[in-house]
């Protein structure tokens, strides 16, 4: 897991977030909700580019790491760079999972599971509503924008 960071770079009050996010975005990004499977606009998305945080614009995932997991949510084998996301234990819903948050604003993105493709074996299962797509070349993994 990546280092826990409670000092996010972007901070807003709850009313500020409510004014800048749609109701669905707020439900997922702030209240840790989940969109129903097979309903998100990026589940079957095949374009090349970068998936950014819908809350703050942080570059999170490259289309190069996107794969069809058959789960109904966009799935990635890894983030653009490990410091782009924060992983936290999540014991909600009676099970132990690993929550994924944006490292810049703390927005809830989804969960990571150990059933992804080789070589890493990770599946970053992300809510489409937590993402914005930018059809551009992804930055190299070593660069932090």
Residues labelled catalytic: 125
Question: To the nearest 10°, the Cα dihedral for 83, 89, 90, 91?
Answer: 180
113: number of Cβ within 10 Å: 16
82: number of Cβ within 10 Å: 14
Provide the CB-side half-sphere exposure for 25 (13 A, CA). Answer: 15
73: number of Cβ within 10 Å: 22
Write phi, then psi, for 85 (nearest 5 degrees).
-125, 160
């Amino acid at each position: 897991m990546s280092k826990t960071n409670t000092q996010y770079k972007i901070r807003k009050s709850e009313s500020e977030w409510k004014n800048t996010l749609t109701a669905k975005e707020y439900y997922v990004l702030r209240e840790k909700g989940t969109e129903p499977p097979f309903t998100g606009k990026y589940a079957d998305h095949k374009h090349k580019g970068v998936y950014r945080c819908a809350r703050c614009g942080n570059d999170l995932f490259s289309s190069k790491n996107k794969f069809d997991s058959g789960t109904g949510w966009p799935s990635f084998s890894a983030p653009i760079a490990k410091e782009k996301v924060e992983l936290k234990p999540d014991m909600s819903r009676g099970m132990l999972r690993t929550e994924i948050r944006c490292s810049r604003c703390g927005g809830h993105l989804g969960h990571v599971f150990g059933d992804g493709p080789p070589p890493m074996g990770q599946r970053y299962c992300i809510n489409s509503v937590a993402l914005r797509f930018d059809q551009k070349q992804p930055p190299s993994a070593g660069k932090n924008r």
